[in-house]
Amino acid sequence: MHGTSHSSGGLAALITTFLLAGIMSIGPMFLGAARLWIELPLLGVAALLFALQGLRLAATPSIDTPRRADAIDLAVALFVIYSIARWLSSPAEYVSRIEVMDIVACAGVFFTCRYGMASRRYCMALLYLLVILGVGETALGYYLSNHLDWLPFGAAEQMQLQYAPRWIGTYESPNHYASLLVIAIGAALAAGSFSKLAWPMRIVLIYLAIMMLVGVMSSGSRGSWIALLAAICALVIMGIRNGTMSWWVPILGALALVIVAGGLFSLSPVVRDRLVDTQTLVVGGPSGAHLRARLRANLHAQVPRDALQIAHDHLYFGTGPATFAFIDPRYQARAASSKPALIHGDYLICLDDYGLVGFGLALFFIAAVTLKFFRPLIIDNRWQDRVLVATAFAAWYALLVHSLLDSNLHTPANALLLFSLTGMGLGRINGEKQMHWSTLSLAPLGRWLGWAVVVLSLIYGLEVARTALSDRVYENALAHQDVVPISDNIAAAEDALRYDPGNVHAMVILGDSHRSNAALQTDPSNRAREDALALEAYQKALQANSLDASVQDRIANMIGK
């Protein structure tokens, strides 16, 4: 019986590793999972992962595996609960729901990697997969930059043309593409520096890290350049605190890497152009008045100003998850055609969407994790532990810095990757051997904890499934709306709403289709009926998202017609 239990536990751990491998690799290969057609299936994989972890908890008696929660776990749980509460009270239920599903996925992956990945071998396999992914993305970045006519995701996805000659790989943004490479570089350097692999293998890993530097350089992402320095600093700190060599070895190694990177960067025309842009923005004018005028005209400078005003007006609880794109036009002092979906900065996004309450919970989590990473590893920790902790700390520190300048944590692929690595790293840091004032014992919950996770994962999976099925029908209707009869568009939109009555995008396309159909009617009564159906669809869309100015404009045009 014991052998059977051990075998089933090993199989569950293997399946967990495969699911995590899919979550960590699929998103980066498909536009950073920033499109619903790939984001929602990825969340479906996360739902399977959570259900499996619940079954593992229910099958393992807590007396054999002590279960404790600490301040970090509490911060994650509180933020998830708060985000769900803000979704339920959001004026834009549909977009808020999708963001909250992303948050739940990140939290579940974090807990899985922290407590469900006891095998060092499986953790290292995921780390090597990350390095392979980074090298592959570097190669794809190079290939796409030289084959701009290749559209791997269809004619609608042509971001490489907009950003050329900057590399974007399989992402829609060079900043998020470069962040993936920074994380992969940290993994390669950690494995090359902290492991006990044979020296030829370690040299190969460091060489691959330098190759990925070319991708970071060619992305032209200034925030990622800073994040790369942050990752190197984190590795130096880990080398001094948990390495097996003298303190000056990691410092000299980092200096050598910075010199090599500086030499490569100095040869890049993309780097020179980006530095010239920065210099022109900051010191390009002959006077302070000219500088202020340039800053007012620069989108990156204006959006944070709007964001701070939004935060001031919605101080405590924010505007709701993922609502910035709808709130910002009301605060714009620039042309109405400029409508950014996100601020260039995760911290400001969090402050706007979740207010001081959510922002405070996020900062508490950041502080708790950062302090945990600064704890020295005990002498019993193996070299794999040092590699995993170093990789996690490098990724954590890099994206923590980059989040000041960009929105990586609002890109599903990068967020899931970061929380996976962070969870694995924290899982290798020994917790308190005895109960501590900062920990909470979960032993009294027994097997009920596992069954609760299973039930919640099923609810989450059903929510993801209905959203995904509705979106699939909607996406198909949107792609073919100009080549099929209007009646087919109407039928498709109605089908999408049957799966998910809250799909506001389907409501809008339903209204647009009825409005187009009304224009084709010669009978006044038929035209009036179609107009009424269009207005009804728009009004439902406005009720589902009262912040959407485009729907308000549609209604105003119909009423004023």
300 compared with 234, residue with greater pLDDT: 234
Average pLDDT over residues 59-77: 79
Rounded to whole angstroms, the Cα distance separating 59 from 55 reads 6
pLDDT per residue as tens digits for the range 544-554: 999 998 899 99
Residues 24 and 418: beta-carbon distance below 8 Å: no
**Residue 86: per-residue pLDDT:** 97
**Residue 400: per-residue pLDDT:** 93
Rounded to whole angstroms, the Cα distance separating 395 from 413 reads 14
Highest averaged pLDDT of the listed ranges 7-16, 157-166, 266-275: 157-166
pLDDT over 70 (residue 436): no
Rounded to whole angstroms, the Cα distance separating 313 from 238 reads 42
**Residue 115: per-residue pLDDT:** 93
pLDDT over 50 (residue 388): yes
**Residue 335: per-residue pLDDT:** 45
Torsion of CA 370, 376, 377, 378, to 10 degrees: -150
**Residue 296: per-residue pLDDT:** 47
Instruction: Determine if the pTM surpasses 0.85.
Output: yes
Tell me the pLDDT band of 68, cut-offs 50, 70 and 90.
confident
Helix, strand, coil share of the chain (percent; to 5): 75, 0, 25
Angle in degrees, CA 266, 269, 272, rounded to 5: 65
Tell me the pLDDT band of 437, cut-offs 50, 70 and 90.
low
**Which CATH topology does 480-559 take?**
1.25.40
pLDDT over 80 (residue 287): no
**Residue 558: per-residue pLDDT:** 84
**Residue 61: per-residue pLDDT:** 64
Average pLDDT over residues 246-252: 84
Main-chain phi, psi angles of 467, to 5 degrees: -65, -40
pLDDT over 90 (residue 31): yes
**Domain range summary for the chain, segments of one domain joined by +:** 2-280+337-452, 480-559
Q: Please, what's the b/e burial string for 358-382 (b: 16 or more CB within 10 A of its CB; e: otherwise)?
A: bbbbbebbeebbeebbeeebeeebe
Element (H, E) at 69: strand 68-69
Rounded to whole angstroms, the Cα distance separating 326 from 319 reads 10
**Residue 235: per-residue pLDDT:** 94
Rounded to whole angstroms, the Cα distance separating 303 from 316 reads 20
Element (H, E) at 257: helix 248-266
Element (H, E) at 68: strand 68-69
pLDDT over 60 (residue 445): yes
**Residue 299: per-residue pLDDT:** 53
pLDDT over 80 (residue 456): yes
Q: Which two tokens stand for residue 274?
A: 């980006």
Rounded to whole angstroms, the Cα distance separating 219 from 229 reads 16
**Residue 480: per-residue pLDDT:** 84
pLDDT over 90 (residue 508): yes
Look at 128-132, 165-169, 431-435, 477-481 and tell me which has the smallest mean pLDDT.
431-435
Average pLDDT, the chain: 88
Look at 139-153, 436-450, 482-496 and tell me which has the smallest mean pLDDT.
436-450
Element (H, E) at 441: strand 440-441
Rounded to whole angstroms, the Cα distance separating 482 from 298 reads 36
Rounded to whole angstroms, the Cα distance separating 219 from 224 reads 9
